[in-house]
Every structure is written in structure tokens, then in C-alpha cells.
Amino acid sequence: MTDPFATLGVPARFTFAPGDLEQRHRDLSRALHPDRHVHSPPGERRMALERAVSVNDAFRALRDPLSRAQALLALHGLSVQEGDRAPAALLMEVMELREDLDAARAKPARIAALRETVAARVAAEESVVARAFDREGAPDARDLAQARDAVVKLRYFRRFQEEADAMEE
């Protein structure tokens, strides 16, 4: 797996100004998209296509905060996977949220309130990730451990959000 930050030519950080990643993706797409190489020699067409694919892949990996956080962990050899043990407190919290969601079925206002609660929790965990990766210098072991725990939580919250989406559909 290539480093998506390098592919987009952006620093390996968590926080980006709004629109920055999109801008970089657009600029690179302008240079690499097959539409821009219709009249290029065949070798350049192939290379541009390969790179356009990796740029799109990198953008997809970095556009979403959770997958960006995972990309940062991956740069440090860490990963979070399905079936990783989660702390008991988190499991309790998520279980309660799910029960509340079940009870909120067909009550849009209550679902919205739950979404807000979860959004606040997501913001809190994202700030943990940001602390680890946004400052000067490489993150230390403690930063990384905290960021990894935060990502475990973020994954659970993401699943909750998806369930809420499904319920509203």
C-alpha cells in the first residue's frame, strides 16, 4: 500500500483546512485524468491512468476522517481490525446507544438527538487523533496508543451512524 499522503503531496497530518484535500485532488486530476491524455503517446496514457487511479484511491482514503486516521496509524505500522478487543466501557456505551436507537424507531426527533450525542463523541475522539498527529515531530508511543484507542471508538460510532442511516431509510 502506497502512502496516500505522499500520493497527494500533502503532509501526514489529521487536520486539513476545508477544501484543501479537494483542491489537491482536483489539481492532480487535471494533470492525470484520462480525458487530459487522449492525445498523449500510449506510454503516457498508461502512466497517467495508473497515477490517476492512485490519486483517486488516496483521496478516498484521506477524505473521510476515520479512514484518514487509519491511514495515519498505518504509517506507523498500526492497524485496527474487525474483531479487535474493545474496552468494556465502550461496549457498554455503544450497547446503550443502540438500545436508545431501537426505542427511537420512527421518532425522527429522537434519532436526531441521538445523532447529536454521537457527533459530539466523534468530535472528542477526533481531537485525540489530531493531538497525536497534528503537532510538530513524530508522535510518541503514548500518542499512538491513544490515537489507536480513539480509532477503535470511532469505528463503533461510525457503525452506529450507519445503523441510524439504515433506520431512517
Return residues touching another protein (CB under 8 A): 1-3, 6-7, 9-11, 13, 16-17, 19-20, 22-24, 26-36, 38-44, 47-54, 56-57, 59-60, 165, 169
Cα separation, 26 vs 127, in Å, equals 27
CB of 149 to another protein, least distance (A): 26
8 A C-beta contact, residue 1 and residue 14: no
Report residue 99 as a C-alpha cell: 438500545
DSSP state of 36: G
Residue 9 or 87: the one with the smaller Cβ distance to another protein is 9
CB of 22 to another protein, least distance (A): 7
Cα separation, 142 vs 164, in Å, equals 33
CB of 14 to another protein, least distance (A): 12
CB of 69 to another protein, least distance (A): 18
CB of 90 to another protein, least distance (A): 25
Where does 16-87 have alpha helices with state H? 20-32, 42-63, 65-75
Cα separation, 58 vs 153, in Å, equals 23
The radius of gyration of the chain's CA atoms, rounded to the nearest angstrom, is: 19
Residue 28 or 148: the one with the smaller Cβ distance to another protein is 28
Residue 22 or 96: the one with the smaller Cβ distance to another protein is 22
**Of 103, 123, 118, which is closest to residue 162 (Cα–Cα)?**
118
Cα separation, 143 vs 140, in Å, equals 5
Residue 14 or 148: the one with the smaller Cβ distance to another protein is 14
Residue 1 or 109: the one with the smaller Cβ distance to another protein is 1
